């Protein structure tokens, strides 16, 4: 057989091409996934996280709407003249005869003698203020008891007789008892056409000192004559 070198070379070339093709197919099937696939995964996750954060975080305006304001209290300084600073036992009531007498002794017990003096009607029989206030220099407290009120009227005026018992405590600790009648006067308010208005006031007091509560009670039960 005749040896032909060019056939051998041709056969080797074909085998080499076949080997190269097989190597290319193996590389194509084992290559790792490309980066675009990872990019798609990230794109899917990020919107989910953003939505969850938005849904669970309340807006700041909601917190402001539900908060309650805090009240600040400012204390009133003592001596400011406010009504709340008045003495708790203060009584100034001129609407009824008994209320006038209760106001009188409220003023005396509070040592407010100018106010006590104001419950008396001006007349020539009324002592000057200095003498009036000096008469209570030794008085500590007075307890007032009143009985049934007697009324009378004359020419546009009304009069009231009020029987009373006074238990007086002196500053030296001694006790005194007085009983009798007070007479009060009121000019009818609807005929008082010009100021100053004259409220109900004490016209006179007819009192006597007694030795016991029994004596005082007897006078109280007798009552007062029709007031004029």
* pTM, two decimal places: 0.62
Q: Which two tokens stand for residue 25?
A: 């197919």
Overall average pLDDT of the 45-60 stretch: 43
Q: Which domains does the chain have, with CATH numbers?
A: 90-222 (3.10.450.50)
Residue 165: which residues within 8 A CB-CB, separation 6 or more? 144, 145, 177, 178, 179, 213, 216, 217, 219, 220
Alpha-carbon distance of 151 to 41, in angstroms, equals 106
Q: Are 192 and 210 in contact (CB under 8 A)?
A: no
Encode 108-124: b = buried (16+ Cβ within 10 Å), e = exposed. bbeeebebbbbbbbeee
pLDDT of residue 166: 98
Comparing 68 with 175, the larger pLDDT belongs to 175
Interval 69-126: pLDDT, tens: 444 443 434 334 454 555 558 999 999 999 999 999 999 999 999 999 999 999 998 9
Residue 136: which residues within 8 A CB-CB, separation 6 or more? 108, 113, 116
Q: Torsion-angle region of residue 152: left (phi > 0), alpha (psi -120 to 50) or beta? A: beta
Interval 141-194: pLDDT, tens: 999 999 999 999 988 999 999 999 999 999 999 999 999 999 999 999 999 999
Asked if pLDDT for residue 42 goes beyond 70, the answer is: no
Asked if pLDDT for residue 29 goes beyond 50, the answer is: no
Q: Are 198 and 184 in contact (CB under 8 A)?
A: no
DSSP letter for 23, please.
H
Interval 191-224: pLDDT, tens: 999 999 999 999 999 999 999 999 999 999 999 9
Q: Are 213 and 177 in contact (CB under 8 A)?
A: yes
> What distances in angstroms separate CA 211 from CA 163, 167, 174, 179, one per listed residue?
17, 11, 13, 10
């Amino acid at each position: 057989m005749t040896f032909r070198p060019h056939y051998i070379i041709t056969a080797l070339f074909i085998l080499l091409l076949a080997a190269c093709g097989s190597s290319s197919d193996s590389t194509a099937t084992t290559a790792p996934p490309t980066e675009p696939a990872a990019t798609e995964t990230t794109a899917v996750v990020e919107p989910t996280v953003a939505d969850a954060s938005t849904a669970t975080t309340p807006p700041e305006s909601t917190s402001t709407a539900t908060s309650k304001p805090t009240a600040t209290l400012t204390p009133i300084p003592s001596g400011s003249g406010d009504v709340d600073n008045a003495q708790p036992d203060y009584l100034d009531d001129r609407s009824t005869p008994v209320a006038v007498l209760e106001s009188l002794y409220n003023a005396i017990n509070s040592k407010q003698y100018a106010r006590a003096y104001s419950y008396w009607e001006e007349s020539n029989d009324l002592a000057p203020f200095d003498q009036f206030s000096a008469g209570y220099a030794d008085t500590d407290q007075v307890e007032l008891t009143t009985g049934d009120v007697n009324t009378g009227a004359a020419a546009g005026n009304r009069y009231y007789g009020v029987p009373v018992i006074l238990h007086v405590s002196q500053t030296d600790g001694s006790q005194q008892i007085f009983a009798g009648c007070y007479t009060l006067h009121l000019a009818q308010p609807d005929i008082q056409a010009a100021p100053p208005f004259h409220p109900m006031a004490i016209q006179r007091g007819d009192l006597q000192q007694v030795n016991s509560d029994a004596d005082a009670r007897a006078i109280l039960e007798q009552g007062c004559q029709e007031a004029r």
